[in-house]
Structure 1
Amino acid sequence: MVHWPRWRPDCTARQTGACTRREDAMVNRIPTLRQRRLGAELRRMREQAGFGGSHLARLLGVTPALVTQMENGKTGISVERLREIAAACMCANEPLIDALADTVMGNDKGAWWEEYRGSLSENFLEVAEIESHARAISLYTMAFIPGLLQTEAYTSAIFGRSYPPLPRHSVELRTAFRMQRQHILRSGDLPYSAYIHEAALRMQFSGAKVQAEQLGALITASEQPNISVQVVLFDVDMIPLPNENFTYLEGPVQELDTVQADSGVGNFLFDAPAHTARFRSLLAQIDSAALPVDESRDFIRSIKKDMESKYV
């Protein structure tokens, strides 16, 4: 699965009488990204057992429609139902089952990004949601300084360069949202590794002064114990990459890792094992080609000095 669809809730699960009280309570709730991911993992579990939806429904004593709804994220499930499905599908991966159980029990109701629902697109909210549950984040970027390390002026300049142009209030809203996303790094608990191409360090969106200030903030961030910044130079012989910018978000178990890739038409999410394995391999190759952390910091300082010479 590449990009999770957005589903509308319905009440079929309640009508079957097969759901527990917890499942009933979730029927009318708009599925979150994590709930849709849970459904995708249930589908993957069934397919690995070689079962069709109708066969699994017979094993569970429910209708095929309910199985489809659970796998599409339309209907929430209880931990008991999750373990029943795992047993029926002969899944012996206890760490994965436990991680999925935590997803079932998790509740993002009242999360800070919900304040922006109806004002920003789902793409923005999903990025914040998936970041908030990541155990570690690694990324590669060619075009921009990573969003979680951007200054407010730099972020505002990027959104201000959108085409067609955004209204001023939309630029301010997007900027405020990105600044609030950065809170996950301030505790120092989340490991964050950024591989930044030299092009992103030199790209200017609002003049040399804004860029120099951004590079200074990047240097400061790189000195935090949980943040690693490494530079990929222009003269590095790199393999072609599928995306200019991608982020690898580690889940509680490797099976729940996710890759978010940016493109000109929006965000794409990859969670199939073959896809995540590919991006892990790409990150390993990028890591081997990038400057070490200390040399990267010195290199960023040299570009910052060059930027400062243009406006001093």
Structure 2
Amino acid sequence: MITPGTFPISSGAAEILPDPWTDGVFLLKVNGVESSQLNPDRPETLGFEYMRWSAAVLRHRFAPDVDRLRVLHLGGAGCTFARWVTHVWPQAHQLAVELDAGLAALARERFALPRAPQLKIRVGEAGEVLAGLRPETREVIVRDVFAPEDLPFPTPERSGDLPFPERERRGEGVHVTPAHLTGLTAAAHAARVLVPGGVYLLNIGGGPDLTSVRREVAALTATFPHVEVMADPAMLKGRRRGNVIAAASTLPLAAEALGGRAGLARDLLADALPARLVDDVGRFVAGAAPAP
């Protein structure tokens, strides 16, 4: 049973509060910033649109009866997406990496998460864990890591000592993916850890000019032969700040037996917040220089 309240975590405070729009559903805020939607009775329901877009990618890549699905989540928070994976693929083995030890403990104790081996939670820094994994040991890697852009590079040992700026308390801080997870080196680590045909799935935050998004996608296209990019049309036209989902693999992202790229495009357009697949990813990243 999820109980609303405010709870101390290593980097500050986590707040669980009822979702004002949906009965029986809760929101998790981490240091004043909305992080996860928690639906204890319906793990198949994803309230955040970018998670639904990510789910569409995996549904069009892996059949429900796939023999093996080992998933690495870089960024844990409420483990909402991991609960969804377990609902769709009960045989999946997952590892969620969360920097904040207190948040990891809160999620394990209060969010009715699947137990090991279905879901393990490791306290650690996502980039370090990714770099240390053995080759070809995961079918899926999900990167959903954000931190206030004005904070220093975090480590688990000092996460409890990170500054907590006043603008973060007001929910005004811009959150970005740490730079060491966005460039060619991180993409190469992901390619090494994935099995052939595995999927690297990234939640990318971007501003209206899409410069940071294009640089991240350029790192993917330099590393993987197949890359897809999706977001709502307003975001892709540079009208607002928001989330872009990118997916990369050594094989086409959408299996023909599961509807192919056309089926994925239809599912994305049918979402409550429709998303569009970028038609020409090469043109999208033209002139963008990936980070090292």
Q: Normalization by structure 2: what TM-score?
A: 0.29
Q: Normalization by structure 1: what TM-score?
A: 0.28
Q: Would you tell me which structure has more helix in proportion to its own residues?
A: 1
**Larger Rg belongs to:** 1
